[in-house]
Structure 1
């Protein structure tokens, strides 16, 4: 069976300040770098990582570089694993965004919020589509005995784990958690190249290897 390890990046200043990051080139905090190092050691100790794929946004790329140093595997960057593009809403605090623009609040307006597109950004459904397409390609291609670590963001991880659990977009975001540097283990059965290969989520939001409690931001 192939194994896909879906990982979130380490803490950033905007995570800590509860700001919407979108595609901002935010770097990790000192704590985030410690988390990334702990993630890297955990993956190197617990798995034989053959391949590393990452979002090209700086916070994910920095985390992936830590994984690369621990595993000896150079990361390949794929923009499809980026967080949702919030356009001009990027940088707002969560309270400012959801208080001033309730049309983006899943808990208030439900599915309609997932369809709403910020100016110069993308809807939650747009992000969902590109991420699940990236995962489908990876699921079809992962080798029978290969382990691939993916370093991405909260939103993309909600998309994939939600799809694997049969959740709709609202429940996938509101009813799940993904801490900074959380690990989700997916097992893939069947022959490589088969687009219909079965995939099962066997572990999710694993953060027990971190010395401290992690941030639980959605974006």
Structure 2
């Protein structure tokens, strides 16, 4: 039998809108972010029987999970630190323009996730190990025909996709950034995990 994991990026935050790097810093959802989360919740309630709801323990993901449940996802949230965004250390709170001016090696249009080390934060390898360990635990506990929704961040979603597809995380991160409340569905069977939907957004308001 096959289990299913649906990765949900949090709704838009005030810092997303301002173009500021969040990492472990807490920012609240905008009204658009709450609407995105309710739309994602309605879609999940209609299309999946969600058995478990695993949530990063940062404010923006917890707010998103609350909106999912308001919209019809019945599972109780389980907080899991492994699903946090990468700790970007001294870069948290800065815009990409400010980062590029301080660090000429960082290209403003590139992916900050792909940067190997960050002063005062997590290295790329430490971040990747943390998320992959969380993924392995989740899959190891996944029951037959069970559906788990994971409310997380753009970085962990890309780290899981890297693990599932065998692609290098830095390369994948440079090409793809998950949408706020986009849904990535992964089928987990005896033959291994397979990406069914990557960053589905048809459920989101225009």
TM-score range, shorter chain: over 0.9
Separation (CA, whole Å) in 1 of partners of 2:101 and 2:47: 42
Distance 1:103 1:79, change over 3 A: farther
Distance 1:3 1:62, change over 3 A: same
Separation (CA, whole Å) in 1 of partners of 2:19 and 2:123: 20
1:159 match: 159
TM-score normalised by the chain length of structure 1:
0.87
Structure 1 residue 50, shift from structure 2 partner? 0.4
Distance 1:37 1:143, change over 3 A: same
Structure 1 residue 162, shift from structure 2 partner? 2.0
Long gaps (5+) in structure 2: none
TM-score normalised by the chain length of structure 2:
0.92
Structure 1 residues 37-90: Cα deviation after superposition (integer angstroms, max 9, x where no partner): 001001001100000001010001111112223122110000110001112221
Q: Is residue 2:202 matched to residue 1:208?
A: yes
3-state SS of paired residue (1:181): coil
Structure 1 residue 115, shift from structure 2 partner? 2.6
1:13 match: 14
Long gaps (5+) in structure 1: 191-196, 213-219
Separation (CA, whole Å) in 2 of partners of 1:129 and 1:105: 25
Structure 1 residue 107, shift from structure 2 partner? 7.7
Separation (CA, whole Å) in 1 of partners of 2:95 and 2:124: 18
2:181 match: 181
Structure 1 residue 146, shift from structure 2 partner? 0.3
Separation (CA, whole Å) in 1 of partners of 2:18 and 2:108: 21
Number of matched residues? 204
Segments ≥4 residues shifted beyond 6 Å: none
Q: Is residue 2:65 matched to residue 1:64?
A: yes
3-state SS of paired residue (1:42): helix
What value does the CA root-mean-square deviation take over the aligned residues?
A: 2.1
Structure 1 residues 75-108: Cα deviation after superposition (integer angstroms, max 9, x where no partner): 0000110001112221000111133214455988
